[in-house]
Amino acid sequence: MAFADILGHDRIVEVLRRSLRNGKTAHSYLFEGVSGCGRKKTALALIQALFCTVLPDDACGECPSCRKIAGGNHPDIHLIAPLPDKRDISIEQLRELQHDLALRPYEAPRKACIIDPAERMSVSAANSLLKTLEEPPGNALIILLTENAGMLLSTVRSRCQVIRFAPLSPEHMLLLLEKGGMASEAAALVAPMSGGSLQRAMELDNEALTSRREAVLSRVSQLNINQIATVFDASEELSGNRDATLELLDMLLSFFRDAVHLGAGTGDIVNRTVRPAIESIAAKRSLPRNLELLERIYDTRRAVQRNANPKLALDNLFMTIAAVR
Ligand SMILES: [Zn+2]
């Protein structure tokens, strides 16, 4: 894993490479960000660069150390996660880790470990780690991964250099999915709805998503302010719990963003498989009106996130969309 393979986190990569060149990497890092945004890849790239015998601030990919890391079998790297069937990372696991870190490295200049997800350390486990974070034995490199640094003991946080990872942008997600072999149509479908998490993108079930998308488009195209039932039927059918409604709103955002692109004549849209339906959204209203609706969908999304009733929020939104102007 070379730094060039990390997408969407250029500034973080730059900071890490500079610290490698200056020999000033921290003992302990806390990488915070949504699961699947590239934290673990970056952690591995950092370790690989640190261990690489050829390059000072990146992985060469060729030396024995780089090859072992790529093959997932470098003896000086420890990955700590909850054991199968266990919720938490136990104090025993951390004691064993501390024992291992204290031993001389087999071949690398120092040992390294990744603890993922760090918020799953039990309180006693986390407490046992404090001294290690401050002064890792044998100058070991420790990288904690978390979705939410607020879930960690403040004493753990304060002993680490905290690096915050932003969710991946839809464009980077698209690239990453296509690089990973997903068909570009499918990638275009799930990228805008993944919330910047590769994991989430993979989880989204394409087939279910396709039929859901068609149902949404069909309801939206039928909205008619003179037949008020079309509004309430749509929100009845499409609203669900908060998460389902947020997903629906992400979908609407993606549709209206595309409609705005079409209206503005840029032509390049994400939802290519349903282009005719998007074209009809774009043609039905003026560009300023579609921009206004895009803004309304954003507002609705924020409101639902802040606990607004999903069904009522959709009633209002669909009413506004139905009032073609
Ligand atoms: Zn190398």
**Model confidence pLDDT, tens digit, residues 97-136:** 999 999 999 999 999 999 999 999 999 999 999 989 988 8
More confident residue, 182 or 316: 316
What distances in angstroms separate CA 178 from CA 132, 172, 190, one per listed residue?
40, 10, 11
CA atoms within 13 A on the CB side of 212: 20
- Per-residue pLDDT at 260: 93
Q: Is the peptide bond before 117 cis (omega within 30 degrees of 0)?
A: yes
Q: 73: CA distance to ligand 1 center in Å?
A: 15
Q: Which class is domain 205-322? A: mainly alpha
Q: How far is the CA of 19 from the centre of ligand 1 (A)?
A: 17
Q: What separation in Å is there between the alpha carbon of 4 and the centre of ligand 1?
A: 14
Per-residue pLDDT averaged across 191-195, rounded? 85
The torsion of the CA quartet 147, 151, 156, 162, rounded to 10 degrees, works out to 40
Q: pLDDT band at residue 166, thresholds of 50, 70 and 90?
A: very high
Contact at 8 Å (CB) between 99 and 138? no
Q: Cα(165) to centroid of ligand 1, in Å?
A: 25
Percent of the chain having pLDDT more than 90? Answer: 67
pLDDT at 306 over 80: yes
Cα(2) to ligand 1 centroid in Å equals: 9
* Helices 287-305, 310-322: inter-axial angle, 10-degree rounding: 170
Instruction: Determine contact, residues 55/187, Cβ cutoff 8 Å.
Output: no
Q: For 9-18, 241-250, 290-299, which range has the lowest pLDDT when averaged over its residues? A: 241-250
Specify whether the CB–CB gap between 71 and 65 falls below 8 A. Answer: no
Rounded distance from Cα 117 to ligand 1 centre (Å)? 27
Report helix, strand or coil for 62: coil
CA of 135 to the centre of ligand 1 (A): 27
> Band of the pLDDT at 6, cuts 50, 70, 90?
very high
Q: Residue 304: how many CB atoms within 10 A of its CB?
A: 22
pLDDT of residue 236 exceeding 80:
yes
- Residues linked to residue 31 through DSSP beta bridges, in sequence order: 145, 163
- In this prediction, residue 210 has a pLDDT band, given cuts at 50, 70 and 90, of confident
What is the C-alpha R_g of the chain?
A: 24
For 33, 61, 79, 127, 169, the CA distances from 119, given in Å and listed in that order, are: 12, 32, 15, 12, 25
List the one residue out of 309, 306, 314 whose CA is nearest residue 238. Answer: 314
The answer to whether 213 and 251 are in contact (CB under 8 A) is yes
Distance CA 29, CA 140 (A): 11
Can you tell me the mean pLDDT for 294-320? Answer: 94
Q: What pLDDT score does 178 carry?
A: 86
CATH topology assigned to domain 3-164: Rossmann fold (3.40.50)
70 CA → ligand 1 middle, Å: 10
Mean pLDDT of 288-310: 94
Mean pLDDT of the chain: 91
What's the gap in Å between 49 CA and the centre of ligand 1?
7
pTM of the predicted model, to two decimals?
A: 0.68
Could you tell me the distance, in angstroms and rounded to a whole number, from the CA of residue 62 to the centre of ligand 1?
5
**Sorting pLDDT into bands at 50, 70 and 90, what band is 205?**
low
For residue 69, the CA-to-ligand 1 centroid distance in Å is: 9
pLDDT at 78 over 80: yes
Q: What is the pLDDT of residue 325?
A: 66
Q: Ligand 1 centre from 17 Cα, in Å?
A: 14
Residue-wise pLDDT for 248-295, tens only, equals: 999 999 999 999 999 988 867 888 888 899 999 999 999 999 999 999
Please say whether the beta carbons of 287 and 264 come within 8 A.
yes
As a whole-number percent, the residues of the chain with pLDDT over 70 amount to 98
Cβ contact 1:45 at 8 Å: yes
Q: Mean of the pLDDT values across residues 168-197?
A: 85
Q: Where is pLDDT greater, at 170 or 183?
A: 170
Q: Where are the domains of the chain?
A: 3-164, 205-322
Compute the distance from residue 146 Cα to the ligand 1 centre, in Å. 28
